[in-house]
Structure 1
Protein backbone atom coordinates (compact mmCIF):
# COMPACT_ATOMS: atom_id res chain seq x y z
CA UNK A 1 0.00 0.00 0.00
CA UNK A 2 1.48 3.33 -1.05
CA UNK A 3 0.36 6.57 0.59
CA UNK A 4 1.09 9.92 -1.06
CA UNK A 5 1.98 12.82 1.24
CA UNK A 6 3.17 16.39 0.67
CA UNK A 7 6.75 15.25 1.25
CA UNK A 8 6.69 12.12 -0.90
CA UNK A 9 5.43 8.55 -0.75
CA UNK A 10 5.15 6.10 2.12
CA UNK A 11 5.18 2.40 1.25
CA UNK A 12 3.60 0.10 3.87
CA UNK A 13 3.77 -3.61 3.15
CA UNK A 14 0.86 -5.95 3.70
CA UNK A 15 3.01 -7.89 6.20
CA UNK A 16 3.22 -4.81 8.44
CA UNK A 17 -0.54 -4.31 8.27
CA UNK A 18 -1.06 -8.03 8.97
CA UNK A 19 1.23 -7.86 12.00
CA UNK A 20 -0.67 -4.91 13.45
CA UNK A 21 -4.04 -6.58 12.78
CA UNK A 22 -2.88 -9.89 14.28
CA UNK A 23 -1.56 -8.25 17.43
CA UNK A 24 -4.76 -6.23 17.88
CA UNK A 25 -6.96 -9.31 17.38
CA UNK A 26 -4.97 -11.59 19.67
CA UNK A 27 -5.08 -9.04 22.50
CA UNK A 28 -8.91 -9.06 22.56
CA UNK A 29 -10.79 -10.90 25.30
CA UNK A 30 -11.84 -14.40 24.31
CA UNK A 31 -9.24 -14.91 21.57
CA UNK A 32 -7.01 -17.93 22.24
CA UNK A 33 -4.80 -17.41 19.20
CA UNK A 34 -4.51 -16.98 15.48
CA UNK A 35 -4.96 -20.01 13.25
CA UNK A 36 -4.09 -20.76 9.66
CA UNK A 37 -5.54 -23.40 7.42
CA UNK A 38 -2.82 -25.54 5.85
CA UNK A 39 -3.41 -26.44 2.23
CA UNK A 40 -1.47 -29.69 2.50
CA UNK A 41 -3.11 -31.30 5.51
CA UNK A 42 -6.27 -29.26 6.01
CA UNK A 43 -5.78 -28.92 9.76
CA UNK A 44 -6.03 -25.70 11.75
CA UNK A 45 -2.88 -25.06 13.76
CA UNK A 46 -2.96 -22.96 16.90
CA UNK A 47 -0.11 -20.46 16.67
CA UNK A 48 1.58 -18.57 19.48
CA UNK A 49 2.48 -14.91 19.77
CA UNK A 50 5.78 -15.30 17.90
CA UNK A 51 4.17 -14.71 14.50
CA UNK A 52 1.24 -12.33 14.64
CA UNK A 53 0.73 -12.17 10.89
CA UNK A 54 -0.22 -15.87 10.69
CA UNK A 55 -3.90 -16.27 10.05
CA UNK A 56 -4.19 -12.73 8.68
CA UNK A 57 -4.71 -11.89 5.03
CA UNK A 58 -4.55 -8.26 3.88
CA UNK A 59 -5.70 -7.25 0.41
CA UNK A 60 -5.98 -3.83 -1.15
CA UNK A 61 -9.55 -2.66 -1.80
CA UNK A 62 -10.52 -1.45 -5.25
CA UNK A 63 -11.58 1.98 -3.98
CA UNK A 64 -8.54 2.47 -1.74
CA UNK A 65 -7.86 1.13 1.72
CA UNK A 66 -7.55 -2.50 2.72
CA UNK A 67 -9.66 -5.56 3.47
CA UNK A 68 -8.50 -7.77 6.34
CA UNK A 69 -9.36 -11.47 6.87
CA UNK A 70 -8.63 -12.99 10.29
CA UNK A 71 -8.63 -16.71 11.14
CA UNK A 72 -8.91 -17.14 14.91
CA UNK A 73 -9.43 -19.63 17.72
CA UNK A 74 -11.74 -18.51 20.52
CA UNK A 75 -12.04 -19.49 24.15
CA UNK A 76 -14.76 -21.97 25.09
CA UNK A 77 -17.81 -20.34 26.66
CA UNK A 78 -17.52 -16.84 25.21
CA UNK A 79 -20.15 -15.17 23.06
CA UNK A 80 -18.60 -15.46 19.61
CA UNK A 81 -20.57 -12.57 18.09
CA UNK A 82 -19.48 -10.21 20.88
CA UNK A 83 -15.85 -11.29 20.57
CA UNK A 84 -15.95 -10.74 16.80
CA UNK A 85 -17.45 -7.25 17.17
CA UNK A 86 -14.70 -6.40 19.63
CA UNK A 87 -12.02 -7.69 17.26
CA UNK A 88 -13.41 -5.71 14.32
CA UNK A 89 -13.34 -2.49 16.33
CA UNK A 90 -9.86 -3.07 17.73
CA UNK A 91 -8.30 -4.09 14.42
CA UNK A 92 -9.86 -1.17 12.55
CA UNK A 93 -8.80 1.31 15.25
CA UNK A 94 -5.18 0.13 15.54
CA UNK A 95 -4.50 -0.24 11.80
CA UNK A 96 -6.00 3.17 10.97
CA UNK A 97 -4.32 4.92 13.92
CA UNK A 98 -0.85 3.46 13.36
CA UNK A 99 -0.73 3.62 9.56
CA UNK A 100 -3.38 6.05 8.35
CA UNK A 101 -4.67 3.38 5.96
CA UNK A 102 -8.47 3.16 5.67
CA UNK A 103 -9.83 -0.27 6.67
CA UNK A 104 -12.83 -1.11 4.48
CA UNK A 105 -13.73 -4.60 5.78
CA UNK A 106 -12.65 -6.90 8.58
CA UNK A 107 -13.84 -10.47 8.04
CA UNK A 108 -13.39 -12.99 10.85
CA UNK A 109 -13.32 -16.76 10.45
CA UNK A 110 -13.62 -18.70 13.72
CA UNK A 111 -11.65 -21.87 12.98
CA UNK A 112 -11.75 -23.52 16.42
CA UNK A 113 -12.91 -23.28 20.01
CA UNK A 114 -10.30 -24.03 22.65
CA UNK A 115 -10.89 -24.99 26.28
CA UNK A 116 -8.34 -24.31 29.02
Structure 2
Protein backbone atom coordinates (compact mmCIF):
# COMPACT_ATOMS: atom_id res chain seq x y z
CA UNK A 1 0.00 0.00 0.00
CA UNK A 2 1.29 3.45 -0.89
CA UNK A 3 0.48 6.47 1.29
CA UNK A 4 1.26 9.98 0.14
CA UNK A 5 2.09 12.80 2.56
CA UNK A 6 3.43 16.32 2.14
CA UNK A 7 6.91 15.06 3.11
CA UNK A 8 7.01 12.12 0.73
CA UNK A 9 5.75 8.63 0.11
CA UNK A 10 5.29 5.72 2.50
CA UNK A 11 5.00 2.14 1.26
CA UNK A 12 3.67 -0.56 3.56
CA UNK A 13 4.09 -4.16 2.42
CA UNK A 14 1.33 -6.72 2.77
CA UNK A 15 3.57 -8.68 5.17
CA UNK A 16 3.24 -5.85 7.68
CA UNK A 17 -0.56 -6.10 7.58
CA UNK A 18 -0.57 -9.90 7.80
CA UNK A 19 1.87 -9.98 10.72
CA UNK A 20 -0.07 -7.36 12.69
CA UNK A 21 -3.33 -9.16 11.96
CA UNK A 22 -2.01 -12.59 12.92
CA UNK A 23 -0.48 -11.33 16.16
CA UNK A 24 -3.69 -9.49 17.14
CA UNK A 25 -5.87 -12.51 16.36
CA UNK A 26 -3.91 -15.14 18.28
CA UNK A 27 -3.81 -12.91 21.37
CA UNK A 28 -7.61 -13.11 21.61
CA UNK A 29 -9.15 -15.54 24.10
CA UNK A 30 -10.20 -18.87 22.61
CA UNK A 31 -8.04 -18.68 19.49
CA UNK A 32 -5.75 -21.68 19.15
CA UNK A 33 -3.99 -20.30 16.07
CA UNK A 34 -4.21 -19.41 12.41
CA UNK A 35 -5.37 -22.01 9.90
CA UNK A 36 -4.57 -22.92 6.32
CA UNK A 37 -6.28 -25.47 4.11
CA UNK A 38 -3.86 -27.86 2.42
CA UNK A 39 -4.13 -28.00 -1.36
CA UNK A 40 -2.98 -31.61 -1.45
CA UNK A 41 -5.30 -33.28 1.07
CA UNK A 42 -7.92 -30.54 1.68
CA UNK A 43 -7.47 -30.70 5.45
CA UNK A 44 -7.16 -27.68 7.73
CA UNK A 45 -3.78 -27.33 9.46
CA UNK A 46 -2.76 -25.26 12.48
CA UNK A 47 0.04 -22.86 11.57
CA UNK A 48 3.09 -22.31 13.74
CA UNK A 49 3.63 -18.88 15.25
CA UNK A 50 6.31 -17.96 12.70
CA UNK A 51 4.07 -18.69 9.72
CA UNK A 52 0.75 -17.41 11.05
CA UNK A 53 0.52 -14.75 8.35
CA UNK A 54 -0.40 -17.48 5.84
CA UNK A 55 -3.87 -17.64 7.40
CA UNK A 56 -4.47 -13.97 6.55
CA UNK A 57 -5.45 -12.36 3.25
CA UNK A 58 -5.25 -8.59 2.80
CA UNK A 59 -7.07 -6.77 -0.02
CA UNK A 60 -6.27 -3.16 -0.89
CA UNK A 61 -9.36 -1.13 -1.76
CA UNK A 62 -9.65 1.82 -4.16
CA UNK A 63 -10.52 4.20 -1.31
CA UNK A 64 -7.13 3.66 0.45
CA UNK A 65 -8.56 1.21 2.97
CA UNK A 66 -7.83 -2.47 3.49
CA UNK A 67 -10.10 -5.49 3.84
CA UNK A 68 -8.80 -8.41 5.88
CA UNK A 69 -9.77 -12.08 5.82
CA UNK A 70 -8.62 -14.42 8.62
CA UNK A 71 -8.83 -18.20 8.92
CA UNK A 72 -8.59 -19.42 12.52
CA UNK A 73 -8.77 -22.50 14.71
CA UNK A 74 -10.51 -22.09 18.08
CA UNK A 75 -10.63 -24.00 21.37
CA UNK A 76 -13.58 -26.27 22.03
CA UNK A 77 -16.47 -24.73 23.94
CA UNK A 78 -15.85 -21.06 23.23
CA UNK A 79 -18.61 -18.74 22.07
CA UNK A 80 -17.83 -18.35 18.37
CA UNK A 81 -19.67 -15.02 18.02
CA UNK A 82 -17.85 -13.50 21.00
CA UNK A 83 -14.45 -14.72 19.80
CA UNK A 84 -15.10 -13.47 16.25
CA UNK A 85 -16.24 -10.02 17.47
CA UNK A 86 -13.20 -9.78 19.72
CA UNK A 87 -10.88 -10.61 16.79
CA UNK A 88 -12.60 -8.10 14.51
CA UNK A 89 -12.26 -5.30 17.05
CA UNK A 90 -8.67 -6.17 17.97
CA UNK A 91 -7.49 -6.46 14.35
CA UNK A 92 -9.24 -3.26 13.27
CA UNK A 93 -7.77 -1.32 16.22
CA UNK A 94 -4.20 -2.63 15.91
CA UNK A 95 -3.90 -2.30 12.13
CA UNK A 96 -5.29 1.26 12.21
CA UNK A 97 -3.13 2.27 15.18
CA UNK A 98 0.14 0.86 13.87
CA UNK A 99 -0.14 1.65 10.15
CA UNK A 100 -2.54 4.60 10.07
CA UNK A 101 -4.59 2.84 7.39
CA UNK A 102 -8.35 2.49 7.86
CA UNK A 103 -9.69 -1.07 7.91
CA UNK A 104 -12.88 -1.34 5.85
CA UNK A 105 -13.88 -4.79 7.05
CA UNK A 106 -12.54 -7.86 8.85
CA UNK A 107 -13.95 -11.27 7.88
CA UNK A 108 -13.28 -14.15 10.29
CA UNK A 109 -13.58 -17.76 9.14
CA UNK A 110 -13.54 -20.43 11.84
CA UNK A 111 -12.05 -23.38 9.96
CA UNK A 112 -11.74 -25.84 12.83
CA UNK A 113 -12.16 -26.44 16.56
CA UNK A 114 -9.56 -28.16 18.72
CA UNK A 115 -10.80 -30.53 21.42
CA UNK A 116 -8.59 -30.98 24.43
Q: TM-score, normalised by structure 2?
A: 0.96
Say yes or no: does 1:110 pair with 2:110.
yes
Q: How does 1:1-116 map to 2 (within 5 A)?
A: 1-116=1-116
More helix by share: 2
| CA distance in 2 between partners of 1:52 and 1:112 (Å) | 15
Separation (CA, whole Å) in 1 of partners of 2:75 and 2:46: 12
Any gaps of 5 or more consecutive residues in structure 2? none
Flag structure 1 segments of 5+ consecutive residues without an equivalent. Answer: none
> Are the equivalent residues in 1 in contact too, given 2:33–2:52 (CA < 8 A)?
no
**TM-score normalized by the length of structure 1:** 0.96
Q: CA deviation at 1:100?
A: 0.4
Contact 2:95 2:103 in 1 (8 A): yes
